[in-house]
Structure 1
């Protein structure tokens, strides 16, 4: 069976900047077929970077690109999507954005040095995903005694043909059939003999080079400025009205394009097309809108900056907000958040800070802190930077200037890191 062709994806005309490698979403898909060789689903792999290292960030980026940039109708049609996950990503808030009927989460076994307690500790996360109606796929390792607590949660068990001898196949398949209700997938099938063996044992789903090699699907991404995404995060964080959020979406066509593209994807599970910004915001709700914006921020790159820069900016914003709450009224705490979250804007956009701030209407005290390190927010920003760098002298001086104790600052820093790690909605 030959590999699938690469579909073209309609999108607004790319700018010259869009033609860079950073603005190209590349996803490999490999078919999973049934006994009649009809496509049952596709396993997706992120190929947008030179490194294929698997991480929680790559999981999030893969789902985001698949749903937002490439359009799931041309990528997978109405078929199931199988996504390899890390255990870190399985507890990530981005899964709230995905319609569980469309996605199968492939759950890896833990490292070989994992203890029985380690394996058991993952069970609550897996059980919660099942309660949310996600289907879980496991490797043949789930058939080992140590993993039997996971076995009842399996919707699919993938049997890697390279991990066991041919003569072990009958016992392996029989054990899986007797001790679970999961559908079995023979994986890495590379010959007619392997296919015939597994088929004779009752396996009905297959994946491997003998059926189809992975095919690449590419699309140019159209990314909003990270400053705009941060503005959206701040609006949602303050529980702004739908009209206020709609106004921001109207100011940035690429942001609104990404949102409408995402919410109308088949992975989101809606039966009608959403064409209004206001309707999109109402359908998503503030919590999911925050998740989407945070994922857009952390999976995008601008001016060559790392997604980690966006996360650091969010940590700064939250830390400054918490520190300001000890000394300032609520409206000033909001401005402190803006100072922190925009303090890395020059790095994210690859521009001097004054240029980066030109298009934003910010209060003068915010501008003073960001551009000149002056005004009421400057000591908070200096203290925040000292927390990051571990500069004990700067930490002590700035904490003393603000009359904050070490305990107050350290607790706020921990809270900010925890808040930003999951990018949880308030």
Structure 2
């Protein structure tokens, strides 16, 4: 018996073109593997980040995968109207990125805890999982959830995935029976590699299947159209100031790539709208300032080139906020926004992989901002030096610049803590 053909498993024709080498940094590559029902029709797709190994993904990589799948790879081509199964770390379950998607479209694959986890740690997760279920997410667990220690998790399971490579064939019956008797979850037989495995699981009443016998994971490649880091930061600034819809709309009109990404994201199947949004004003009103802020922050950290370390975007945001808070102690309110821009833009070279001078050519900035960034001079220069000293732990530079600005250690340290907490809230609030 050969593998069943399924045209739905073929790669989307618009996502397979080999890009030019020059565009390699602007390409998203996501792997997907189909989950089939008893009639061998596609029930859903599990998505994988091919840039991250299975045992090293983090909350940040989870957010980037889901964000890229919806924003860049064209979710209609990637998953159509099917369910999306996404592997999650426990840390990512509280991430703000989950508020940007429609819960009914996504199944969160949640791992059990390490073998040495204490019973109270397992129980503490119940509240988080229950909150996700209340919001409408479905949750999938591996067969490890069938262990006695996880009895409190079982009622929260929508899917239980049985790994055909993880147990002997004679245990299949007892495992399926236990799962069906003690939960309302649908059983998925995964890593099915032979016709015999499929037939055995089907005879036990299993109706969902995933594995190489049906289809190997296929790579979906898409060219991204990414707005400049500078424009994204302008958008973040407008949202932070609670600017009017008209002001935000004006910025979107000035940058086609930014508006294109926003409309593509809000119209993706994962966002769950029943009608297509075509106006920028409508998109901003539908999304709201809180979600628009999260979207822009995620766009900022996922728009960097491959060579930029993952922490660069976060560090830039901390710098901006810290400079803004320090400037608020000494400068007029209108100058604080420019201080924020100096801090964030001071890492544009690392984020874009090009010299800072060249990066700054793409955006019009006030002369005092350019003086601080390019010449280390002017009103903002000592604030930037103090911010860098906070990052590096340079006590001598810290003492010298804080004294020159007449700021106490307590003022600076408190501002730094506030900046770190604020930056963390971008993804986790």
Equivalent of 1:194, from 175, 194, 197?
Answer: 197
Q: Which residue of 2 is the match for residue 5 of structure 1? A: 10
Q: Which residue of 2 is the match for residue 334 of structure 1? A: 337
Q: Is the 8 A contact 1:189 1:207 kept in 2?
A: yes
Offset at residue 293 of structure 1 (A): 0.9
Q: Is the 8 A contact 2:349 2:356 kept in 1?
A: yes
Quote the Cα distance in structure 2 between the aligned partners of 1:129 and 1:197: 33
Equivalent of 1:346, from 345, 349, 355?
Answer: 349
Quote the Cα distance in structure 2 between the aligned partners of 1:33 and 1:351: 45
User: What is the count of residue pairs matched by the alignment?
Assistant: 423
Q: Is the 8 A contact 1:119 1:147 kept in 2?
A: yes
Q: Given the superposition, is the C-alpha separation of residues 42 and 243 from structure 1 closer, same or farther in structure 2, using an over 3 Å criterion?
A: same
Q: Which residue of 1 is the match for residue 224 of structure 2? A: 221
Quote the Cα distance in structure 2 between the aligned partners of 1:51 and 1:185: 23
Offset at residue 182 of structure 1 (A): 1.0
Equivalent of 2:379, from 376, 381, 388?
Answer: 376
Q: Does 1:20 align with 2:23?
A: yes
Q: Does 1:168 align with 2:171?
A: yes
Q: Is the 8 A contact 2:301 2:314 kept in 1?
A: yes
More off after superposition, 347-356 vs 97-106: 347-356
Q: Does 1:182 align with 2:173?
A: no
Q: Which residue of 1 is the match for residue 298 of structure 2? A: 295
Q: Deviations over 1:179-201 (max 9, x none)?
A: 21111111111122222222222
More off after superposition, 191-200 vs 271-280: 191-200
Q: Which residue of 2 is the match for residue 152 of structure 1? A: 155
Quote the Cα distance in structure 1 between the aligned partners of 2:349 and 2:190: 47
Report SS of the residue matched to 2:388.
Answer: helix
Quote the Cα distance in structure 2 between the aligned partners of 1:332 and 1:138: 51
Quote the Cα distance in structure 1 between the aligned partners of 2:307 and 2:167: 44
Equivalent of 1:114, from 100, 117, 120?
Answer: 117
Q: Which residue of 2 is the match for residue 269 of structure 1? A: 272
Equivalent of 2:406, from 403, 408, 416?
Answer: 403
Q: Is the 8 A contact 2:96 2:428 kept in 1?
A: no
Q: Is the 8 A contact 2:25 2:306 kept in 1?
A: no
Offset at residue 10 of structure 1 (A): 8.0
Q: Given the superposition, is the C-alpha separation of residues 50 and 197 from structure 1 closer, same or farther in structure 2, using an over 3 Å criterion?
A: closer
Quote the Cα distance in structure 1 between the aligned partners of 2:357 and 2:35: 52
Q: Is the 8 A contact 1:44 1:83 kept in 2?
A: yes
Q: Is the 8 A contact 2:104 2:136 kept in 1?
A: yes
Q: Is the 8 A contact 1:59 1:89 kept in 2?
A: yes
1:93-132 correspondence to structure 2 within 5 Å: 93-132=96-135
Q: Is the 8 A contact 2:26 2:305 kept in 1?
A: no
Q: Is the 8 A contact 2:75 2:269 kept in 1?
A: yes
Report SS of the residue matched to 2:152.
Answer: helix
Q: Deviations over 1:242-293 (max 9, x none)?
A: 1111111122111111111111111111111111111111111111111111
Q: Is the 8 A contact 2:15 2:220 kept in 1?
A: no
Superposition TM-score, scaled by structure 2 size? 0.92
Q: Is the 8 A contact 1:157 1:185 kept in 2?
A: yes
Equivalent of 2:328, from 295, 320, 325?
Answer: 325
Equivalent of 2:60, from 57, 67, 73?
Answer: 57
Quote the Cα distance in structure 2 between the aligned partners of 1:351 and 1:384: 22
Q: Which residue of 2 is the match for residue 361 of structure 1? A: 364
Quote the Cα distance in structure 2 between the aligned partners of 1:2 and 1:395: 66
Q: Does 1:242 align with 2:242?
A: no
Q: Is the 8 A contact 2:19 2:223 kept in 1?
A: no
Offset at residue 133 of structure 1 (A): 0.6
Q: Which runs of 5+ in 2 are unaligned?
A: none
Quote the Cα distance in structure 2 between the aligned partners of 1:403 and 1:377: 14
Quote the Cα distance in structure 1 between the aligned partners of 2:52 and 2:101: 26
Q: Is the 8 A contact 1:303 1:349 kept in 2?
A: no
Equivalent of 2:37, from 22, 34, 39?
Answer: 34
Quote the Cα distance in structure 2 between the aligned partners of 1:330 and 1:113: 53
Offset at residue 73 of structure 1 (A): 1.9
Offset at residue 208 of structure 1 (A): 1.0
Q: Which residue of 1 is the match for residue 140 of structure 2? A: 137
Offset at residue 385 of structure 1 (A): 0.3
